[in-house]
Structure 1
Amino acid sequence: MPPEPNTAPLVAAARKRRELTRAKAIQALRELDRTGAPVSFEGVARRAGISRSWLYCQPDIRAEIERLRDATRRSPSPPIPAAERSSDASLHARLEAALERNRQLTEENQRLRRQLAHALGDQRASHPHAQV
């Protein structure tokens, strides 16, 4: 019977190579996004020095590339890095603040109009023959 092959070193080397490749891909993805550069499978593969086919086989990395790629395609202006983009919660808070400010300004305008009307009424009452 042939001796049992010692595959542990091969398995460890393959695991280490996979982890290194993942780290390079994630680093390249973060760098492209941080700089606002267009994110694509080709760009990530080129920057990381890995194959595009490997990227397509990694569900989490693939999903992130597609998400960032789609986000930059929808934007007509230069791409904004993900860390600088407004979240839905942030946009909602800004909208609420703007609506509150609008309400305050409307109330102030109404108050000022009433004050002006009273001032003009007082002026007419104190000078009945003067034309205003």
Structure 2
Amino acid sequence: MPADNSHLIVAAARRRSTATRRRAVSALRRMDATGTTITFETVAREAGVSRSWLYNQPDLRAEIERLRARHRVPATRQVPDRQRASDTSLLRRLEAATKRNQQLETENRELREALALALGERRTADLPHRHRDTPRNKSSAVIGPC
């Protein structure tokens, strides 16, 4: 009767499975760290495993889906090179915006001052005529500190 070597076959299969899982996890971590696009295809290629094996590993499948969703960038239309603004153009636009901002700040300051003067004049106009202090009509008595 031949010797029962099945335990050796089982042990070899376990080693192979452990090594495969280690390669997949290592590839996944490396790809995540470098910002490589993570899909089942790219992980399978990087780890040297099959996509179907990855799909059948619930924890790895969940991690790939999580990282794929995190790294997913919304599709944006690429702007053709001839339509992109040059650095010089962007600098000029920034300078123009800065100049306009300074003009608006000056205008706001002048408007605040004009408003303060107008409100002061209105307040003075609303005072009874006999109590108004003007250069021509100074109050006669000044009361000092008590």
TM-score by length of 1: 0.54
1:53 and 2:48 correspond: no
Report 1:10-49 matches (<5 A).
10-49=9-48
Unaligned runs of 5+ in 2: 76-132, 136-146
* Letter paired with 1:12: A
Q: CA deviation at 1:70?
A: 1.2
Measure, in 2, the Cα distance between the counterparts of 1:64 and 1:57: 13
Identity %, equivalent residues: 55
Whose helix proportion is higher, 1 or 2?
1
SS at match of 1:37: coil
> Does 1 or 2 have the higher relative contact order (CA < 8 Å, sep 6+)?
1
Q: CA deviation at 1:129?
A: 4.8
Measure, in 2, the Cα distance between the counterparts of 1:129 and 1:31: 82
Q: CA deviation at 1:72?
A: 1.6
Deviations 1:42-92 (A, max 9, x none): 00000011111111110000100011111122x349xxxxxxxxxxxxxxx
RMSD: 2.8
SS at match of 1:15: helix
Measure, in 2, the Cα distance between the counterparts of 1:7 and 1:129: 115
Count of residues in Structure 1 that have an aligned counterpart in Structure 2: 84
Aligned partner of 1:65 in structure 2 is 64
TM-score by length of 2: 0.49
Bigger Rg, which one: 2
Measure, in 1, the Cα distance between the counterparts of 2:24 and 2:134: 86
